Structure 1
Amino acid sequence: MTDSNRPLEVACPQCRKKVEWREDNPYRPFCSERCRLIDLGAWADGSHRIAGEPAMDETEIDEMIMRAERAFQDEQ
C-alpha cells in the first residue's frame, strides 16, 4: 500500500495506542470497547466536561421567567 492509500492512524483517546481510522473499526477513535467504555464512564461521572458557564437548574429558569413576565406586565 502506498502512503496515500494507507488509512489514517490516530491515537486512542484513552490509552494512546495507534489505531487505524477505518469504517470497519466499530470503536473508532478508540482501540477497543474497553477504552470506549472507560471514556463513556468518565463523561457520565463528570470527570470529562466541556468548559463553559454552569448550566441553570429549574429553579433559576423559573425565576428568570417570572422576572421577565413581571417586567412585561409592568410595561403594559
Structure 2
Amino acid sequence: MQLAVKPRKVACPGCGETTVYSTSNAYRPFCSERCKLMDLGDWATEKFRIPDATPPDLQDAE
C-alpha cells in the first residue's frame, strides 16, 4: 500500500503566489516564466548584490 504524497507548495519569491515545488514546475521555485525573468533582470541590473567585505586596495586609489 502506497501513501499519497502531497505536492510541496511554496511561495513564489517573485510575487508571493503559492506554487508547486516539484519537477513538474519548469519555473520552480517561481510560479511562472515572468517571475523567473523578473528575478533574473534584478540580478542583471544589480538590484540584488552579494556584498563584498573586502576593503578597497589602497594602490587603486593612487
Structure 1 alignment gaps of length 5 or more: 64-76
**Residue matched to 2:24:** 24
C-alpha deviation, 1:51, in angstroms: 2.6
TM-score, scaled to structure 2: 0.75
**Residue matched to 1:12:** 12
Structure 2 alignment gaps of length 5 or more: none
**Aligned sequence identity (%):** 44
What SS class does the counterpart of residue 10 from structure 1 fall into? strand
TM-score, scaled to structure 1: 0.62
- By relative contact order (CA 8 Å, sep 6+), the higher-ranking structure is 2
Superposed counterparts of 1:55-74, under 5 Å = none
Q: Which runs of 4+ in 1 moved over 2 A?
A: 51-54
Larger Rg: 1 or 2?
A: 1
What SS class does the counterpart of residue 38 from structure 2 fall into? helix
What SS class does the counterpart of residue 6 from structure 1 fall into? coil
Number of residue-to-residue matches in the alignment:
56
C-alpha deviation, 1:5, in angstroms: 1.1
**Residues of 2 paired with 1:35 and 1:28: CA distance?**
10
